[in-house]
Amino acid sequence: MAVKTQPAQPGSPLATPLPRVLRPRRATPADAVRPTRAEVNLAALRHNLRVVQRAAQGARVWGVLKADAYGHGAPAVARTLERAGIDGMCVALLEEAIELRDAGIRVPLLVMGGYYGQAWGEILARDLVPVVYDVGQIEALAREVRFASSEPVGLHLKIDTGMGRLGCTPAELPALLAALGRHPEVRLDGLMTHLACADATDLGAVDEQLARFTEATRVVREAGFDPKVLHAANSAALLRSPGSRLDVVRPGIALFGVAPCEGAGIELRPVMKVRSEVVALRDLVAGESLGYGWTWRAERPSRIATVPMGYADGLHRDLSNRGDVLVRGRRARIVGAVSMDLTMIDVTDHEGVSVRDEVVVLGQQEGPLGRDAITALEIAGLTSSIPWEVLTHVSRRVPRFYREP
């Protein structure tokens, strides 16, 4: 990835220039030549926001748009949600927040990943809400505020209640509160935690983490701080655990129409459809093989269609010889090894298939042979994965088309 440097501002405490990352450009509809594309249904996105808002029962909704909005394209998704009345948005990376501000997003943006490098000035310049969990982070942000002669900056403190990745442990909490007390340049506006088992059948672990979070909140308030925003609930928790909703909920996968666990989110509508077209047809006699490694052999005279999509686009290689796509409204089996750019499917039993017929890899299709759907959950089951990974693996070279049906 190319970078270019910019000199530190006069008076800045930074000893070295900041790198500015040049983000890779996503394939755009205007540049699309091949028929492979991801279609994003913005009406379904707004519907899911309304479902989440009802489930939140008065808590504010800050949608999680990390990983390019779960592969749906963060700027377009963010603009749609902002116009639809979402209260705020969460991302993992500072770079993701900058992208949204550059796209014109004005609602609060919470940066949850906790890594800011030396780019604390971007927090001030972009009016972002940082999540911190370390004394050094508090000191670095306070130092940036002093050198910029800025107003105090609000932050959220992450409490580790059992996830074990990032966050301040109960034993570390007094030291962080002392650091906050020493630095009036920063203001403790919120407390957050992350639930590890919200999609489990037994919600006992959720209750245990919430009890730890309640105790941490008590310690913070007894130390003289008054955070106005408490938040813990992800998609699964907000749909299943009323006690987790607090002041703000942080839905991610639910906004994109995927139930976070069995029995939750039955009103949700899938937002993304990934489709391509048949670009070639050929007939094989019984006994002929195809694809890398000759992993599939025709047991009868077979008609094979080639689709211009492969594992470089997000079509998982584990779907070779076991996954399905939709053609003319009916399932067709993927045959042979999924290759980088091309995949073959068996359309022997699909009467009337021709070049340029639509092939649906993810989503619903209705045609002359029926109506069916391929879900992210189905693909995850075949690839030993999870729906989150299925969506985020649709690569940047697949252009996103935004639909208003």
Question: Which residue would you say has higher pLDDT here, 346 or 30?
Answer: 346
Query: Which domains are seen in the chain, by residue range?
Result: 57-256 (3.20.20.10), 272-403 (2.40.37.10)
- Token readout for 319 is 């779907």
Query: How far separated are the first and last CA of the chain, in Å rounded?
Result: 37
Report the distance separating Cα 261 and Cα 267, nearest Å.
13
Give whole-number Cα distances, 54 to 50, 58, 148, 162, 267, in Å: 6, 8, 41, 28, 11
Catalytic sites, residue numbers: 66, 292
- Per residue in 77-103, pLDDT (tens digit) is 999 999 999 999 999 999 999 999 999
Q: Judge if pTM exceeds 0.85.
A: yes
Q: Answer whether 373's CB lies under 8 Å from 363's CB.
A: yes
| Mean pLDDT, residues 240-258 | 97
Q: Where are the beta strands (DSSP E) in 29-184?
A: 37-41, 60-64, 88-91, 109-111, 129-132, 153-158
Residue 91: closest CA among 75, 83, 104, 80: 75
Distance from C-alpha of 274 to C-alpha of 65, rounded to nearest angstrom: 19
pLDDT for 16 beyond 50: no
Which residues are bridge partners to 365 per DSSP?
372
pLDDT score recorded for residue 32: 76
Q: What is the per-residue pLDDT across 321-331, written as a single tens digit (0 to 9) for each?
A: 999 999 999 99
- Contact, 251 vs 70, CB < 8 A? no
Cβ atoms 351, 369 nearer than 8 A: yes
pLDDT digits (tens, 9 = 90+) for 140-194: 999 999 999 999 999 999 999 999 999 999 999 999 999 999 999 999 999 999 9
Tokens 């008065």, residue located:
58
Q: How confident is the model at residue 27 (pLDDT cuts 50, 70, 90)?
A: confident
